[in-house]
Amino acid sequence: MGSSLNAFRSFTLLVIEMRCAKCGNPASKYNKTGIPVCSRHVKTKISPPKCPNCGLGMAVREGKFGKFWGCPAFPMCDGLQKI
């Protein structure tokens, strides 16, 4: 029982930390391209942020600590950003 409660708490914190790519408010959903957005911007077309190292449009990736923006040129470029 305790481990499932801890898993629920960590999931809740992950949802609270994600920010809308358009306005910066807490994100509650993903749009069609997988970019985290708030409920106001679900149907808005949003371009992903640019990689700080190479300038390519970043992609949403998922690691063991949750989702993040990652450079599509990985492993040649290791640009990362928090969502």
Structural contact between residues 69 and 49, judged by C-beta atoms closer than 8 angstroms: yes
* pLDDT tens sequence across 17-74: 678 888 888 888 888 877 888 888 888 887 888 999 999 988 888 888 888 889 999 9
Q: In this predicted model, what pLDDT tens digit does every residue of 4-33 receive, in sequence order?
A: 555 555 554 444 467 888 888 888 888 887
> CB–CB of 34/60 below 8 Å?
yes
Mean pLDDT of the chain, nearest integer: 79
pLDDT at 15: 43
* Degrees to nearest 5, angle at CA 25 with 19 and 26: 55
